[in-house]
Amino acid sequence: MKKKLGILLALVLSIGTILSACSSKEDSAAEKSGKNGQPYEIKWYTVGTPQKDTDKVFAEVNKYLKKKINATVKMTQIDWGDWAQKSQVMINSGEPFDIIFTNGTDYVQNAQKGAFYAIDDMLNNEGKALKQTIDPALLEGIKIDGKTYGVPTNKEAARQSVYTFNKRLVDKYHFDITKVKTLEDLEPMLKVIKEKEPKITPMATFKAYLPFDYIFNGEMPFGIPFEGDRDHVVNPFATDVAMQTYKTMHSYYKAGYLKEDAATSKDSWPMDVENWFVRMGDSQPYADLLWSRSAKYDVVSVPAEQPVTINDSVSGSIQAISATSKNPKKAMEFLTLLNTDEYLRNLVDKGIEGVHYKKNSDGTIEDLPARIDRYNLPTYSLGNHFILYLYKNDPKDKWEKFKEFNESATAAPTLGFHFNSDPVRSELAAITNISKEFYPALATGSVDPESYLPKFNKKLKEAGLDKVLKEIQKQFDDWKKTQK
């Protein structure tokens, strides 16, 4: 009797094992490859909506790669919204794969955790060609404790915030936007728009710009001014600039230039809805052209700052080799090829010639419908932009302009400095909460800075602002000593 009951239980436990055994076949093949002539399969995870023609394109890619480096690539895309959570679980669980897309703080944290393979040695061997191709500012900027943990996408390395205007309205009222340098300069135009264009919101909600190099992001009260004392970390919200800017913003808000729910609204102001006059964004060469194309009406921008190379702008898109990779050398060879080989780069990005795009006689290309419907990859995440084919309506000097843009940029004081927040974790958590409460209201002008800014700063002080500032300063000084 007892035995039979035991059997019943054993049955339950074994169902799981049996069912799972059905699906565990393909594991052993991947492991022994790369040595005995078998092409090594590189597992590559990158961001974006999975596409229908991925297999078709990668069959071509693999044909080419087998010849070149005796490897094949299995690329898997993870959808935009799933990316953050899924990639984090994959990394934390130590799943074996070779290459993964990463950016920003994710990159820094995972690299500090040891999730990525340091590629400095390989950059001098397998990746020599790669090192020569990529803008040194990018490679320098993503170094963490002196080591490189990924291959940055070679594109614009700097950030330039711009005010973007709706060109139709600018022309209609003959505004001279070239004179706009600061937030205050917008006033006369906003006034006209508010009076004469009732259907247009004069300002698409944006957070007022402050000229600081932020340690975390614009919301957190830690930054180094771009101008003046570039050696000391301060609280930007305690400066006169902040007070001045937020006052202006508040007067705009009171005048009704912004939507009333600006501080809390999640409205993203898509470009293709023509209901705004001025907005703020990050630019790159010929950005107006791209924006106009996606908006389907003309926009025109004026810079709000000089191009500046900051940590965020260099780590916007990185392909890192996983520490769990079984063959990092092959992965590096592939990344090198992806960033230097024009055929491969365009194949991965644009698909197959004649199927996804067609080539014109002058070397430019045009998308065929299949590129949009079946193989639409996010160009920015994949690799070197400067070897991409130009579209028919692209300016001929597009990539030259990018290079000029990168060369004209100045390096931010903290470029390459990555703060280790472990010692002040609890203070930072408190400060984050306070910032989340005050910052959106202040930066959109929804509240009066005269009363709210001091309140904000007082609360920050109570939460341990000074301690964090001190810690950042200490690490910053230490880091500077190691720089030549």
Partner 1 sequence: MPKLEQNQPTVTMPSSLEGMKGGGIKKRRKKYRDPQALPPVVNTIVSVLLGILAITCIFPFIYVIIISFTSEESIVRNGFQLIPKEWSLDAYHYLWSMKEQLFRSYGVTIFITIVGTIISVFMITFYAYAISRPQFKYRKFFTFLAFFTMLFSGGLVPTYIVITQFLHLKDTIWALILPLSMNAFYIIIMRTFFLKSVSESILESARIDGASELRIFFQIIFPLSLPGIATIALFSTLGYWNDWFTALLYIDNPNLVPLQSLLMKIEANLEFMRQNMDIANMQSSLFNTIPQESAKMAMVVIATLPIAVSYPFFQKYFISGLTIGGVKE
Q: Which positions touch partner 1 (CB under 8 A)?
A: 1-2, 4-9, 11-12, 15-16, 19-20, 22-24, 27, 48-50, 76-83, 85-86, 89-90, 92-95, 266, 268-273, 281-282, 284, 287, 290-291, 293-294, 372, 376, 378-380
Nearer to partner 1, 266 or 425 (CB): 266
C-alpha 430/C-alpha 327 separation (Å) is: 43
C-alpha 390/C-alpha 57 separation (Å) is: 20
Please, what is the minimum distance in Å from the beta carbon of residue 19 to partner 1?
Answer: 6
Please, what is the minimum distance in Å from the beta carbon of residue 17 to partner 1?
Answer: 8
Q: What is the DSSP string of 427-451?
A: HHHHHHHHHHHHHHHHHTT-S-HHH
Distances (CA, A) of 380 to 42, 77, 162, 258, 383: 21, 14, 20, 32, 7
Burial (0-12, 13-18, 19+ Cβ within 10 Å), 3:
exposed
Nearer to partner 1, 78 or 460 (CB): 78
Nearer to partner 1, 368 or 465 (CB): 368
Nearer to partner 1, 273 or 462 (CB): 273
Contact at 8 Å (CB) between 347 and 383? no
Whose structure tokens read 């160009």?
379
∠ CA 309-313-317, nearest 5°, is 140
Nearer to partner 1, 86 or 461 (CB): 86
Nearer to partner 1, 104 or 423 (CB): 104
- Other C-beta atoms closer than 10 Å to the C-beta of 157 total 29
Please, what is the minimum distance in Å from the beta carbon of residue 396 to partner 1?
Answer: 19
Nearer to partner 1, 131 or 155 (CB): 155
Please, what is the minimum distance in Å from the beta carbon of residue 313 to partner 1?
Answer: 11
Contact at 8 Å (CB) between 141 and 314? yes
Nearer to partner 1, 184 or 273 (CB): 273
Please, what is the minimum distance in Å from the beta carbon of residue 205 to partner 1?
Answer: 11
Please, what is the minimum distance in Å from the beta carbon of residue 377 to partner 1?
Answer: 8
- Other C-beta atoms closer than 10 Å to the C-beta of 67 total 8
Q: What is the DSSP string of 159-214?
A: BEEEEEEEHHHHHHTT--GGG--SGGGGHHHHHHHHHH-TTSEEE---PPP--EEE
Whose structure tokens read 């320098």?
140
Please, what is the minimum distance in Å from the beta carbon of residue 281 to partner 1?
Answer: 6
Rg (CA), the chain: 26
Please, what is the minimum distance in Å from the beta carbon of residue 231 to partner 1?
Answer: 30
